[in-house]
Structure 1
Amino acid sequence: MSRRWVPCALLAVVLTSCGSSVQPFAASARPAPTTTTTTTTTSVVATTTSKLKPRPESMANPAGTAVVPPEAEPEDTSSPTKVVGTGTSASCTSDAVAEAVAGGGVITFDCGPEHVTVVLDETVRIRNDKARDIVIDGGGLVTLSGAGERRLFYLNTCDRSLGAGTRCQDQTHPRLTLQNLTLADGNATGETEEGGGAVYARGGSLKVVNSRFLRNRCDQDGPDLGGAAIRAFGQKEPVYVVGSTFQNGECSNGGALSSIGTSWVVLNSVLKNNKAIGRGANPARDGEPGGGSGGALYADGNEFTVKIAGTLIEDNHANEGGGAIFFVSNDRSGTMVVEGSTLRRNPSDGFETPGLKGIFFLGATEVTITGSTIE
């Protein structure tokens, strides 16, 4: 059965004065969820890399104990389709990365024993008509950078210039996995496909494992765009984010992650110091450009789910609603679960759900919260 995603711009949100809570959709208002509080101590782990036997450094929340399902585990890269580089940092170039990814399959790197940063001259585009599964594994030693000028990865099953897919969005392939990588300084400002400073994914499938996203950007204002690090749109399967860190991202909405019509499973990860910098909310108030919701995560659409487990979300900020998480299911069929996680110091300057610091939620039921601290 086909689905029709209705953007949050169609919602009527009634705001009160800045800094106070609001009660949108008063006719269907629900009682505030009850939080279950546990004491959790977390910190971002410091890591080192052996020069003799390079191993991926951990990007995970060290306090995270969520069980990772088989489909969210790292992919096997023991028999790569293509190796970028010939053992030196100079051999790992933007062209080499683009060429390897264009062919699809399993891609690894051989850039020498030290960390290397590859500045991408162009956005890497995922083909729809090549290998059904694309795995890009940096081995913990590779940073891909947009130099603050361009998006890093672009996947779009509706873009016929990338080869025809079976359908426009809502299909499972190409299936892109990013693991053991750092994706830094991506910038999607001004792109036609709005949002996704590091990764834009419409259709297909996306999984991120043991990776780090730093200082990514997208447009500063707009009511329904977002995702400084990742923008996911119309995906049939959930986006899995496992053992990964998102820091210092800025966008109109979704300082780290943003989606329409897509589910998320975020496990044992860290979302820290990200900002939703737009102003005017959604729909935009008169005289303002709109945006400013979901300091870390902005999720919109109809029937979708968000699961946060074993994850630390702290020190994020929203100029409008949901300093940590903004969740709106337009038809009230969507659900959200928070398990074994800590959400703290995520201010919402405009509005949030009473009793849930840093969260604005409109869905099928109350947020299900177990073994978590929200403060």
Structure 2
Amino acid sequence: MRRRLWTCGVLALSLACGSDPGVDPPTDFRDGPPAGNPEGTCAIPDEGRLADTSSPDQIVGDGTPESCTSQAFVAAVAQGGVITFDCGPDPVTIVLDETARVFNDTGPDIVIDGGGLVTLSGGGRRRILYMNTCDPAQRWTTSHCDDQDHPRLTVQNLTFVDGDASGEMDEGGGAIFVRGGRFRVIRSRFFHNRCDEVGQDVGGGAIRVLDQFQDQPVHVVESTFGGGEELGNECSNGGGLSSIGVSYTVVNSLFSHNRALGNGANPAQPGTPGGGSGGAIYNDGNTFTLRLCGVAIRDNHANEGGGAIFFVSNDRSGSLVIERSTLERNPSDGFETDGYPGIFVLASGDPDVRESTITQ
């Protein structure tokens, strides 16, 4: 896999922007699918509805593409609150010079809304967005960082491309890494994000989440992960989503061409680095739930288990619910659960499948 380098801070899609000859430009996502599964018809839960951004606290840009810089965006995230963009009427891509980091004493509600026009790029060199309540560099705000109710981060109407968390100590989350507080994703797209290619505990080519407040679920609503061969997200485990002990509720969303690249599974087999499970989604831990409604999971791949979904509840208290969804063509090269193509599941019982199609 070639790493991409782009030298401009912001690129309007209609504008030219110089780069090193012989260096790949950013991923071309203009022909990528829109946010969400067009076939999904499930009701949106209250926690999955768009946040109100009518009175923003921070506005990135002054009406021109050139004003929407990496520095301006990183500074806005550091200040927190409701963040919107004013980059002109056309789509723009902001290529980040550094990862944007949420500080835990801002907010407590932090909303980043791209208005459907803004793409955030890691340039193939860095993670795009980071939040961690247990990281002292981001300022501790409670004595129980692994179970606190803030910050509450929402990303909506955004596209995340070319994020790369390879080599990061936090073990995953190519586009977004979150630990603690609350987190949700609404009407957003994730293209060609990645993290380390091998490792038994590395996951989340697009998103990695740990330690949500009171074990409440992360909502992923009307969002797209991949969508084409060159747009798929990839990591050792969980090309799209990854978590340990965290529940997800995924509604009217699309996952395609995401890949779990590791080998040796978890725990790693002798002589292997481990990983390779959950082409689209990887969930591990004890008591947690994955709920899918109106979701399409197609053409994802795992070198080991669960070309679509890897779901392991170690104490068998967790549950997998699949409703009004389609899972097809998600090969698992190593192993999967009999009768559930593309899925490896160890839970409180068999997956609860309602009005859904699951095929090879």
Q: Taking structure 2 as the reference length, what is the TM-score of the superposition?
A: 0.88
In structure 1, give the amino acid aligned to 2:279.
Answer: G
Q: Matches of 1:341 and 1:224 in 2, distance apart?
A: 28
Q: Matches of 1:165 and 1:344 in 2, distance apart?
A: 44
SS at match of 1:323: coil
Q: Mind listing any 5+ residue stretches in structure 1 that lack a counterpart?
A: 1-45, 49-56
Aligned counterpart for 1:63 among listed residues 19, 23, 39: 39
SS at match of 2:334: coil
Query: Paired residue for 2:76?
Result: 100
Structure 1 residue 362 corresponds to structure 2 residue 346: yes
Structure 1 residue 178 corresponds to structure 2 residue 155: yes
Structure 1 residue 204 corresponds to structure 2 residue 151: no
Query: Paired residue for 1:310?
Result: 294
Structure 1 residue 237 corresponds to structure 2 residue 216: yes
Q: Matches of 1:141 and 1:132 in 2, distance apart?
A: 25
Q: Deviations over 1:42-81 (max 9, x none)?
A: xxxx999xxxxxxxx9511111011111111010011111
Structure 1 residue 341 corresponds to structure 2 residue 325: yes
Q: Matches of 2:323 and 2:69 in 1, distance apart?
A: 41
Query: Paired residue for 1:110?
Result: 86
Q: Matches of 1:246 and 1:275 in 2, distance apart?
A: 11
Query: Paired residue for 1:190?
Result: 167
CA RMSD, Structure 1 to Structure 2 (Å): 1.3
Query: Paired residue for 2:58?
Result: 82
Q: Deviations over 1:69-125 (max 9, x none)?
A: 111101001111111000000000011001111111110000011110000110111
Identity of aligned residues (%): 61
Q: Give the length in aligned residue pairs.
A: 322
In structure 1, give the amino acid aligned to 2:233.
Answer: G
Q: Mind listing any 5+ residue stretches in structure 2 that lack a counterpart?
A: 1-29, 227-231
**Residue range with higher mean Cα deviation, 322-331 or 57-66:** 57-66
Q: Matches of 1:342 and 1:185 in 2, distance apart?
A: 27
Asked whether the equivalents of residues 34 and 224 of structure 2 are also in contact (C-alpha less than 8 Å), the reply is no
Q: Please list, as runs of the form range in 1=range in 2, the aligned pairs for 1:1-375 lying within 5 A after superposition.
A: 58-166=34-142, 167-235=144-212, 236-247=215-226, 248-375=232-359
Q: Matches of 2:31 and 2:264 in 1, distance apart?
A: 40
In structure 1, give the amino acid aligned to 2:265.
Answer: A
Q: Matches of 2:149 and 2:297 in 1, distance apart?
A: 29
Q: Matches of 2:346 and 2:148 in 1, distance apart?
A: 27
SS at match of 1:169: helix
SS at match of 1:142: strand
Q: Matches of 1:209 and 1:47 in 2, distance apart?
A: 20
In structure 1, give the amino acid aligned to 2:103.
Answer: R
Asked whether the equivalents of residues 156 and 169 of structure 1 are also in contact (C-alpha less than 8 Å), the reply is no
C-alpha displacement of 1:343: 0.3
C-alpha displacement of 1:165: 2.6
Q: Which has the higher contact order (CA 8 A, sep 6+)?
A: 1
Asked whether the equivalents of residues 159 and 190 of structure 2 are also in contact (C-alpha less than 8 Å), the reply is yes
Q: Matches of 1:334 and 1:104 in 2, distance apart?
A: 34
Asked whether the equivalents of residues 34 and 189 of structure 2 are also in contact (C-alpha less than 8 Å), the reply is no
C-alpha displacement of 1:170: 2.4
Q: Deviations over 1:233-284 (max 9, x none)?
A: 1213211100000010110000110000100000000001000000001111
Hey, which bits of structure 1, 4+ residues long, moved more than 6 A? none
Q: Deviations over 1:123-163 (max 9, x none)?
A: 11111111100000000000000000000011100001111
C-alpha displacement of 1:353: 0.2
In structure 2, give the amino acid aligned to 1:245.
Answer: T
Q: Matches of 1:206 and 1:130 in 2, distance apart?
A: 15
Q: Matches of 2:274 and 2:358 in 1, distance apart?
A: 27
Q: Matches of 2:342 and 2:164 in 1, distance apart?
A: 26
Q: Taking structure 1 as the reference length, what is the TM-score of the superposition?
A: 0.84
Asked whether the equivalents of residues 158 and 165 of structure 1 are also in contact (C-alpha less than 8 Å), the reply is no
Asked whether the equivalents of residues 217 and 228 of structure 1 are also in contact (C-alpha less than 8 Å), the reply is yes
